[in-house]
Amino acid sequence: MKTSTMATTKVKSPEQTNNVQESALNELFIDELKDIYWAEKHLSKALPKMAKAATSDELRSAIENHQAETERQIIRLEDAFASIGQKAVAVKCEAMAGLIKEGEEIVAETEKGSITRDAGIISAAQKIEHYEIASYGTLRTLASVLGYEHAAELLDSTLNEEKTCDSLLTQIAEAGINQASKIEKA
């Protein structure tokens, strides 16, 4: 039996710091905060278009309510930045840009006034909500680890709103939109 010898590469350990603000995790946290700040600002511009495209009054109302909530979430993010001594800066979020574009494409590719368009809008909106839930959950955890308790509380509030919105979208879809759209002619 032949034994192979693997080359061993010595991995350099990262430099340590006693200052949280100088840590690599803090830098990651701030980068992710900038990312979601951009995402929320651009979502706030996309939501009115989604609401206008919705056929169902219930869906339109849910989107409009989330639009107002998104505006408050932007302010909450600005407060989170301030609470850690950082200026609120938005850096393009490629994920949200892609999700918004996908939502616009669904609206463009479905018939105006159709319930199928509403099913598509819900699908696009829930993808956005799931991205936000993942982002805010991670950010809240990082804030806690870094000792940014006020930021963690702010981020947790937004996380709970995103989960509530996702649940509402599911209820709207299951209460009739999905069933009605399955018999709509293509």
Q: How many structural domains is the chain composed of? A: 1
Of 94, 169, 91, 92, nearest to 130 by C-alpha is 169
Residue 170 lies in a domain: yes
CATH number at residue 40: 1.20.1260.10
Residue 17 lies in a domain: no
How far is CA 165 from its chain centroid? 12
Confidence of residue 185 (pLDDT cuts 50, 70, 90): confident
Per-residue tokens: 10: 């010595």
In the predicted structure, residue 4 carries a pLDDT above the cut 70:
no
CA distance 112 to 131: 27
Confidence of residue 184 (pLDDT cuts 50, 70, 90): confident
Q: Which domain holds residue 158?
A: 22-182
In the predicted structure, residue 107 carries a pLDDT above the cut 70:
yes
Residue 4 lies in a domain: no
Q: What does the pLDDT look like over 52-103, one tens digit per residue?
A: 999 999 999 999 999 999 999 999 999 999 999 999 999 999 999 999 999 9
Average pLDDT over residues 21-40: 94
Average pLDDT over residues 136-152: 97
Q: State how far the alpha carbon of 145 is from the alpha carbons of 20, 152, 158, in Å.
A: 10, 9, 18
Query: What is the 3-class SS of the chain, one letter each residue?
Result: CCCCCCCCCCCCCCCCCCCHHHCHHHHHHHHHHHHHHHHHHHHHHHHHHHHHHCCCHHHHHHHHHHHHHHHHHHHHHHHHHHHCCCCCCCCCCHHHHHHHHHHHHHHHHCCCCCHHHHHHHHHHHHHHHHHHHHHHHHHHHHHHHHCCHHHHHHHHHHHHHHHHHHHHHHHHHHHHHHHHHHCCCC
CA distance 53 to 60: 8
CA distance 157 to 100: 23
Residue 12 lies in a domain: no
Residue 83 lies in a domain: yes
Q: Per the confidence metrics, is the pTM higher than 0.75?
A: yes
Residue 97 lies in a domain: yes
Residue 1 lies in a domain: no
Average pLDDT over residues 9-18: 55
Of 48, 77, 95, nearest to 153 by C-alpha is 77
Residue 6 lies in a domain: no
